[in-house]
A and B are shown apart, each in its own frame.
Chain A
Amino acid sequence: MANVTLTINGQQVTVPAGSTILQAAEKLNIFIPTLCYEPILTRPASCRICVVEVKGSKNLVPACAALARDGMVVETDTPEVIEARRTIIDLLLANHPMDCLTCGRNGDCRLQDYAFMYGVRESSFSGEKHNYPLEDDNPFYIRDMNKCILCGKCVRVCAEIQGNSVIDFTYRGFNTKIAAFMDVPMSQSECVFCGNCVAYCPTGALQEKYLRSHARTWEVQKVTTVCPYCGTGCTLDLNVKNGKVVGVTSTDGEVNGKALCVKGRFGFGFIHHPDRLQQPLIKKDGRLVESTWDEAIQLIATRLGEVKAQYGADAIGFLTSARCTNEENYLLSKLARAVIGTNNIDHCARL
């Protein structure tokens, strides 16, 4: 593929034809703010925060969607560009609750970052603000459409990553709102609560319900690990506060990107649950009694041996769990076939 060479802020850069100005700028480590842009999603070029000056162009152009062309001369921080970005932030803040102090996304919010970066303390406009009811009737995430900046990432994630298209842009103009069919709460919609929209939301419009109400963003330590629920092997970040897991967020996993399912993202309650088994239990005299791993394994080995001796190896069957790793499944297969000597082994994912 042919290359194009352009100049950004006086520096020359060569990128493959078809690259955007933003991608060319990234190559030069030149920062351009973005709100609606997400590399893996389609590009609506709608938030307009990424506008830059291109020599010969009548208006400013969106760096996230405009293609880099040979000989193009781009400036990313002229007074005109800065003024435009500042105005856009100002306009977004004019229609945004200024409750950063108590917002769960405080410290983890693009809008806040850019307001800081461009020095917009508060909006210079007064006027109508949206006044939608807070939607918190599902156990997984809250939706505060008053904080929505209509970047539409959630709509695209739902359609392009999750493939569910539960939400879309609805109504028009200033009244535009991201909503499900008939504008019902998500709990009454077809939403599967994968929460991938939450992972991509740049503001506090979508927040993990438990995590954001139990920890400030700077209080948690993120521990990157692999999801235990199934063999897909999604990477996720356990958010740990005071030694306890308070939530799950997604990072850029090799297998899954930022996508998770409802179990991986929200099904972490078992970790610190009082009912969780921490010791093996052996039924003695009709009652389950706490035991040691050594005793339990010894008991299993003995009983399996007895069954095999009395009824033959095929009297025994093994069922493995989707929550096991490939390696664990492999070992169990070895145990069944090589040690016990039966092919009676199956997996819950087939049921």
Chain B
Amino acid sequence: METLMDKCCDKCQHSPTTPCRDYVRCRKNGPICHQDENCSRLRQELLARVYMKPEAGMKYILICSGTGCISSGSPSLVKAFEEELAKNNLQGQVAIRITGCHGFCEQGPIVIIEPEKVFYRRVARDDAAEIVSMHLVQGQLVERLLYVDPVTGQAAKTYEDIPFYAHQQRLVLQKCGHTCPEDIQDYIAHDGYLALTKALFEMTPQQVVDEVKTSGLRGRGGAGFPTGVKWQGALNAKADKKYVICNADEGDPGAFMDRSVLEGDPHAVLEGMIICGYATGSDEGYIYVRAEYPLAIHRLKIAIAQAEQYGLLGENILNSGFNFRIKIKAGAGAFVCGEGTALMQSIEGNRGMPRYKVGRSTEKGLWDKPTTLNNVETFANVPLIIRHGGSWFASIGTEKSTGTKIFSITGKVNNTGLVEVPMGVTMRQIIFDVGGGIRDGRAFKALQIGGPSGGCLREEHLDIPVEYDSLIPLGAMMGSGGLVIMDDTTCMVDVARFFLNFTQAESCGKCTPCREGTKRMLEILNRICEGHGVPEDIEVLEKLSKVIINTSLCGLGQSAPNPVLTTLRYFRDEYEAHIYHKRCPASVCQALLVYTINQEKCTGCGACARACPAGAITGEKKQPHTIDLEKCIKCGSCLTRCKFDAVVKQ
């Protein structure tokens, strides 16, 4: 018995062709069909190792292999640690495990030593020797690689001591970063596929749907449609064929929670989809993943192959008579394909242009068949709900927004990354407790929530609980969970322009208001940022926004003006400063900047003058220099070259 997935002795006959309904439970708590102390002992020993329990007598080096840590160099660590372990003859006592994303990507590459939960950050190849000799051989912490809290200045010994993690409630992300996403036994050991077993043998499809309804789970992709209601629609639909689709076309700039779940815990998504197939009477599922997520696709392929290998996917799953297959469809680069009807068009091989829907997709979806479309995070919640019950799930979060939500927090906060918190916590808790507050001690100015469909909010909104319905009246939305934090160096007109630039570029071009309207809005915003705004612009933006929201064909167009409308609502003074005074209060909009040299601080070293491509800076040697504003092209070269902080940008 090499892995948990193997049989303990010849009594076990399970295979995809001769499936046994007790397979999953047996692998976790077996043997079930016979009593044998040796078989039980073997299995418990394997489990202890998978769980990295102290009694297994092993130590484990967990190396993060999410996209973030890989790009900061984690693949080279695997080899380095292997070499160091070999040098110290530790191979039998220390095991290396590749894990999914910890969510704290900016601290990457992240290495965790289990079972003591020590968290090392920014680990370089050369650090492997020290970690092995100091920590694993001598039992001493490598202090310099520990995480130091930027607020308290305290070093955190274990990851549980890190505020970023301490304030989270990780349910969907529970296994991400601790189990190996490329090994199904890790998933099985952590109660994987038990929910599927329960659904298949203890529940009718209607009972599964009822449990999801009880849980109050709502779509995590942004729209927040009740998942149970959707599934009921698909279950009720009469058709010879039904489909399940997992929307993994995560496209909001700044959001990567779906990618992390797919990379870190792919089986949870598969299990959720299989359960959905059982509940709605479908035998075929598609996962539509962005092509920009090669690692997620790679890990999904491995996970699907493993699930098929052990009879958890395919014909007659666990001898239940239920068949289900999952295919991967790689997107081809179109944000609009995150929209349900466009996504289905894309799977069918068409241009990803949304369709005007007369009915619901659960009646007429992919190839005109009833289709249940849910997001990655939604599916990943399903096994938890089936295992622990809908009421348990509903007890987390708020009355109308149950469970947890993963946010991707970026921008000017101390801790950026993926965080999972119960619905209903306030923005303040997310930004200041989990996020560790604003970077460099600057002042909080705004937050943008919900990606290009969402809006910008300000200080007074920080104590509003984050849930589906609380943000709508403010002009924002939770969306898929993108959260960008801005400080006083961020220009809100520029932010609005950034998001509009994105939606305009991603408009499919089908309907007039989105195709032509976002273009004109962007042109107006560009003008304002370049100092050519006119007073009427604000009114035109507002009127145009209203029509685009009111008449666009799909959700992309209907929400595209939100970033503009919310910034106009909460940061109107910045628009006015740009238009009336030709000033950018945050000193961001290049055309409106004025560079000057502080005569007190300038030493006359001449570095700025040499750097200036426009020859706008003059001055005697060792005498304070000046900038000719007529000649200045506002490139900022002088600012970056000055060693004395003498160049001032306003």
Enumerate chain A interface residues (CB-CB to B < 8 A): 43-49, 51, 59-60, 62, 65-67, 80, 83-84, 87-88, 91-92, 94-95, 124-128, 149-150, 169, 171-176
Contact = CB atoms under 8 A, between A and B. Distances in A.
A92 B516 CA distance: 7
A164 to B, nearest CB: 18
B515 interface: yes
A45 B557 CA distance: 14
A45 B513 contact: no
B513 A87 contact: yes
A62 B520 contact: no
A67 B549 CA distance: 21
B547 A88 contact: yes
B519 A46 contact: no
B506 A88 contact: no
A336 B356 CA distance: 60
Given A46-B510, A47-B512, A169-B351, A127 B558 contact: no
Contacts of B552: 48, 59
A91 B517 CA distance: 6
Contact of B515 (A59, A84, A125, A176): A176
A169 B358 contact: no
8 contacts: A48-B513, A48-B551, A48-B553, A94-B516, A127-B520, A169-B509, A172-B508, A173-B506
B333 to A, nearest CB: 10
Contact of B504 (A51, A62, A83, A173): A173
- Interface centre among A67, A80, A87, A150, by most chain B C-beta atoms within 10 angstroms, is A87
A192 to B, nearest CB: 24
Contacts of B520: 91, 94, 125, 127
Given A91-B512, A127-B519, A174-B519, A45 B356 contact: yes
Most chain A beta-carbon contacts within 10 A, residue among B351, B510, B544, B553: B510
B34 interface: no
Given A59-B558, A91-B520, A172 B513 contact: no
B540 interface: yes
A125 B353 CA distance: 26
Nearest to B353: A169
Contact of B511 (A43, A46, A83, A175): A46
Contacts of B505: 173
B344 interface: no
Contact of B512 (A67, A80, A88): A88
A96 to B, nearest CB: 10
Contacts of B549: 59
Contacts of A62: 356, 553
Contacts of A127: 519-520, 523
Nearest to A176: B509
A2 B265 CA distance: 50
Size class of the B contact interface (CB-based, 8 Å): 20 to 34
A65 B550 contact: no
Top 6 A-B pairs, shortest CB-CB distance: A176-B509, A45-B356, A91-B516, A127-B523, A87-B547, A173-B507
A345 B229 CA distance: 71
Interface string B216-258: 0000000000000000000000000000000000000000000
A282 B509 CA distance: 64
A172 B334 contact: yes
Given A65-B358, A176-B515, A84 B550 contact: yes
Given A127-B520, A172-B351, A173-B508, 17 more contacts: A48-B513, A59-B550, A59-B552, A59-B558, A83-B547, A88-B547, A91-B512, A91-B516, A91-B517, A91-B520, A95-B516, A128-B519, A128-B523, A169-B509, A172-B507, A173-B515, A174-B515
A95 B512 CA distance: 11
A174 B358 contact: no
Interface in B524-558: 540, 543-544, 547, 549-553, 558
A60 B551 contact: yes
Nearest to A67: B358
A45 B553 contact: yes
Contacts of A176: 508-510, 515
A47 B551 CA distance: 10
A75 B353 CA distance: 28
B550 A60 contact: yes
A66 B353 CA distance: 18
A33 B106 CA distance: 55
A174 B509 CA distance: 6
Contacts of B512: 46-49, 88, 91-92, 149-150
A175 B544 CA distance: 20
Interface in B330-359: 334, 351, 353, 356, 358
Contacts of B504: 173-174
A87 B511 contact: no
Nearest to A149: B512
Contacts of B553: 45-46, 48, 62
Nearest to B517: A91
A79 to B, nearest CB: 12
Contacts of B507: 172-174
A115 B551 CA distance: 18
Contacts of B356: 43-45, 62, 65-66
A48 B508 contact: no
A91 B358 contact: no
Contacts of B351: 169, 172
Nearest to A127: B523
Contact of B513 (A67, A83, A91): A91
Contacts of B511: 45-48
Contacts of A92: 512, 516
A51 B512 CA distance: 12
B544 A87 contact: yes
Kindly name the residue among B505, B519, B544 whose own CB sees the greatest number of chain A CB atoms within 10 A: B519
A294 B380 CA distance: 92
A172 B352 CA distance: 10
B441 to A, nearest CB: 41
A173 B513 contact: no
A49 B551 CA distance: 9
Contacts of B550: 51, 59-60, 80, 84
